Amino acid sequence: MAGVISNSTPADWRPLDPENTIYVDLKKGRVVIELAPSFAPNTVANVKALVRDGYYEGIRINRVQDNRVVAWEFPDADVTNAARRIKHGKSTLPPEFERTIDQAMPFTPLPDGDVYAPEVGFCGDFPAARDTNTDRIWLIHEYGMVGVGRDNAVDSGGGTELYVIIGQAPRDLDRNVTLIGRVVQGIDLLSSLPRGTGAMGYYEKPGQYVKIKAIRVAADLPPARRTNLEVMRTDTPAFHDLIESRRYRREEWFHVPTGRIEIVNIPIPVRPAARVPAH
Amino acid sequence: MAGVISNSTPADWRPLDPENTIYVDLKKGRVVIELAPSFAPNTVANVKALVRDGYYEGIRINRVQDNRVVAWEFPDADVTNAARRIKHGKSTLPPEFERTIDQAMPFTPLPDGDVYAPEVGFCGDFPAARDTNTDRIWLIHEYGMVGVGRDNAVDSGGGTELYVIIGQAPRDLDRNVTLIGRVVQGIDLLSSLPRGTGAMGYYEKPGQYVKIKAIRVAADLPPARRTNLEVMRTDTPAFHDLIESRRYRREEWFHVPTGRIEIVNIPIPVRPAARVPAH
């Protein structure tokens, strides 16, 4: 894989759009989330509105479930106060679990099948599944993906609770939760947090909560304070080479190259941006 | 799943065998590993011999790679000294990547296929894959599985380096490394460790190493100091019900039950033992 990256050209990479990037700043560092407006336009817009309304001010990580998720939402006692700050956002939204396939968005399929979906691959540089019979496509739950928590009603999640997958891909959540993007840097700051000992990994004592210093849209920070990253495009020959390098591990260490690959085992490379976007 | 467990009978559970259980005691608590002698008889015997020879005394966790592994081995400078303690064990062993199918060992197959292997399921209460055409069966790499690190030569790993999977199942390691068991309690003590910043997650400074207080075979501790657990058997109607409860999530929260399940998403339940084994 290192060879594929070193052989790539600048055109194989795409800088993050500051307007669709969110920073979650913790004491130990920054978590960078790339948003996926192509898949969840209303929810992404709403999360950005909640950020800009100041809704998340004072929010803390209150749930760390091993091999599952890190999540943050206000405890019941604080929700009303936080909701008062909402001006442009909404507390809840209709779900965006899946969407109609857009032929204008390239889809890079994987050749080895999937247990859960008719077809999996990459679309818009995110891991996705699709069903060409029903003309539907959706983001899949895997390590680093970011979603909006909800209650039993499908329209009860709009972004007031956010979660990040930190374990084995819980694919049974696909099409059950609106996914809004993925962590492209800093996931280790979340995955190494102490696990909550309550049911579903909730911290049992407020003293365990992990402070979030700020959640901001990258575009709202002066350029000098942004974390400029670029993501490898998934619709290029270089990315096709990357897929093959993972299907057939050529390193001398490997005794049996599998010749197969599952979508959750293909990383989408991210690196410091060579070019900083002008806007 | 909670319903399946509460409806289970004592016969659906199997106490851990103290002779095939290893404790890795850290400052923060105990990691309990169930060994799998049916799959790796020589390597399991060797790891126990290394434990009893005192080989691991003073060993520290020196590698924590995000979404991948926690591992411990002596740094090069200390290997020679540690090897002097070996009396009954060996530094290296031929690999036990797979074995011939044993018809006497029940295999509980999963119905929804697998990307990597012709068939997957449970055998000896471990996750396994098999190929009935070649008559071979092997343990699979998933969250919590424990393996012996090796160099490029397949016979270079005998247990002097041990690792635990703490991320997305790296199934391309199947049949490339000898797996010796799985963590049945305390994985969160490993998965929440700070990530190493060196290549492959190695800690770059010895000050970051995580002390291991002791590694012992459970049988070598007096009964009062053991952690007595029982594992749900995977060859029973109760476990079949558990599989179905994961394939079709009936909880009200689920909008779309997948009707499918991947092996890595089926937990093998573990709980405090109702009956403590006599020996």
| Integer CA distances (angstroms), A210 to A31, A186, A192, A217, B5, in order | 14, 15, 12, 20, 33
Q: What percent of chain B has pLDDT over 70?
A: 98
Q: At B218, is the secondary structure helix, strand, or coil?
A: helix
Write the single-letter amino acid at B19: E
Write the single-letter amino acid at A228: N
Confidence band for B274, pLDDT divided at 50, 70 and 90? confident
pLDDT (0 to 100) of residue B277: 56
b (16+ CB within 10 A) / e for A159-178: bbbbbbbbbbbbbbbbbbbb
pLDDT, one tens digit per residue, over B201-233 is 999 998 999 999 999 999 999 999 999 999 999
Question: Would the pLDDT of B22 be above 90?
Answer: yes
Under 8 Å between Cβ of A257 and A219? no
pLDDT, one tens digit per residue, over A157-204 is 999 999 999 999 999 999 999 999 999 999 999 999 999 999 999 999
pLDDT, one tens digit per residue, over A69-82 is 999 999 999 999 99
Which residues 6+ apart lie within 8 Å of A87 measured at CB?
A53
Residue with tokens 């071979």: B136
A171 to chain B, any CB pair closer than 8 A? The answer is yes
Which residues 6+ apart lie within 8 Å of B205 measured at CB?
none
In a mutational test of the B interface, the residue from A65, A67, A155, A185 whose CB has the highest number of chain B CBs within 10 Å is A67
B171, B175, B255: residue with CB nearest A265: B171
Per-residue tokens: B253: 């929260």
Q: Mean pLDDT across chain B, nearest whole number?
A: 95
pLDDT (0 to 100) of residue A1: 83
Confidence band for A277, pLDDT divided at 50, 70 and 90? low
In a mutational test of the A interface, the residue from B262, B263, B266, B268 whose CB has the highest number of chain A CBs within 10 Å is B262
* ipTM confidence score: 0.94
- Mean pLDDT confidence for B57-85: 96
A253 to chain B, any CB pair closer than 8 A? The answer is yes
Confidence band for B276, pLDDT divided at 50, 70 and 90? low
- Mean pLDDT confidence for B123-128: 98
Q: Is there a contact between A256 and B114 if contact means CB atoms under 8 Å apart?
A: no
pLDDT, one tens digit per residue, over B138-153 is 999 999 999 999 999 9
- Mean pLDDT confidence for A246-256: 90
Under 8 Å between Cβ of B128 and B137? yes
Confidence band for A22, pLDDT divided at 50, 70 and 90? very high
Question: Would the pLDDT of A124 be above 80?
Answer: yes
Greater model confidence, A206 or B29: B29
Question: Would the pLDDT of B121 be above 70?
Answer: yes
Q: At B5, is the secondary structure helix, strand, or coil?
A: helix
Q: What percent of chain A has pLDDT over 90?
A: 93
pLDDT (0 to 100) of residue A2: 85
Residues in chain B within 8 Å Cβ distance of A66: 187-188, 191-192
**For residue B251, which of B3, B65, B15 has the smallest C-alpha distance?**
B3
**For residue B239, which of B150, B137, B126 has the smallest C-alpha distance?**
B126
Phi, psi for A211 (deg, rounded to 5) = -65, 135
Under 8 Å between Cβ of B86 and B50? yes
Under 8 Å between Cβ of B90 and B46? yes
Q: How far apart are CA B46 and CA B40, in angstroms?
A: 10
- Mean pLDDT confidence for B243-270: 93
pTM: 0.96
Confidence band for B257, pLDDT divided at 50, 70 and 90? confident
Q: Is there a contact between B265 and A97 if contact means CB atoms under 8 Å apart?
A: no
